[in-house]
Structure 1
Amino acid sequence: MSTGVVFSLVTALGLIRLPDVYTRTHASSKSSTLGVLCVLLATFIHFWLVEGIFNTQMIIAIAFLFITAPVGGHLIGRAAYMSGIKVAEETVRDDMEDALAEQKKKLMDNKTTEQ
């Protein structure tokens, strides 16, 4: 349970301190996922060992969260990039810029061949 609280605290600090939407999305999707997973796992273990209740819904919630939260963070970051939100000045390398330019070039080539 304490580990989950620490990860959640790291998430809060990351959302406050990090410079742009991409690094904030990374902090919120990765560390908050671990924080919530640790809290859910601690709750599951408590009810299983102390109360004697094996809760399959908790297992399903852990699996669902583990799968969906990072994917959601990735899609938010991608949507922000496609919307034109700039990366922070501290960013060393932008791999999406080249990929996006190549994709636009292919799209333009396809349009000219269709005409």
Structure 2
Amino acid sequence: MIVEALYYLAGIMVIVGALFSFVAALGIVRLPDLYTRMHSGSKAGTVGSGLTLLAIALVSFDGSVILRALLGFIFFMLTAPISAHLLARAAYVAGYRPAARFVVDDLENSNGLQSKE
């Protein structure tokens, strides 16, 4: 009975993870500029893949599979936000500006970034 409950819970986690991954893919296609696309891909994609890995860890009764799934989950949670931030900063320094409808540009006059103008 507990095993069946774990299977149902894992199935729900996979479905929710797939929905988050779908939202991430939709955001990458539909959002207006590089920065909002990157935000969608890094946040929703990380949650989607993390939920899928946790579901795998939940239904697997093999210790090595559980360990690898949990380590993969931790790796995603630690690296995705940092890499998205660094990619966004590099894109800004390279000259890609946010969409025109975004009014505030906090990095425009900061000392840490050099303008290419």
Shorter-chain TM-score bucket reads 0.7 to 0.9
> Which gives a bigger RCO, structure 1 or 2 (Cα 8 Å, sep 6+)?
1
Q: TM-score, normalised by structure 2?
A: 0.79
Q: Percent identity?
A: 38
Kindly indicate whether residue 46 of structure 2 is the aligned counterpart of residue 33 of structure 1: yes
Larger radius of gyration: 1
Superposed structure 1 runs of 4+ greater than 4 Å apart:
none
Gaps of 5+ in 2: 1-13
The correspondence for 1:53, drawn from 57, 62, 68, is: 62
Counterpart for residue 84 of structure 2: 73
- The 8 Å contact of residues 46 and 76 in structure 2, kept in 1 or not, is answered as yes
Counterpart for residue 110 of structure 1: none
Q: TM-score, normalised by structure 1?
A: 0.80
- The number of residue pairs the alignment matches comes to 99
Q: Taking structure 1 as reference, are residues 90 and 66 closer, same or farther at Cα in structure 2, changes over 3 Å only?
A: same
Residue 63 of structure 1 deviates from its aligned partner by 0.7
Task: Describe the superposition over 1:87-111 as per-residue Cα deviations: whole angstroms up to 9, x where unpaired.
Answer: 1011121111121xx3469xxxxxx
Counterpart for residue 31 of structure 2: 18
Name the one with the larger helix percent. 1
1-side partners of 2:40 and 2:78: how far apart? Answer: 16
Tell me how large the CA RMSD over aligned residues is.
1.5
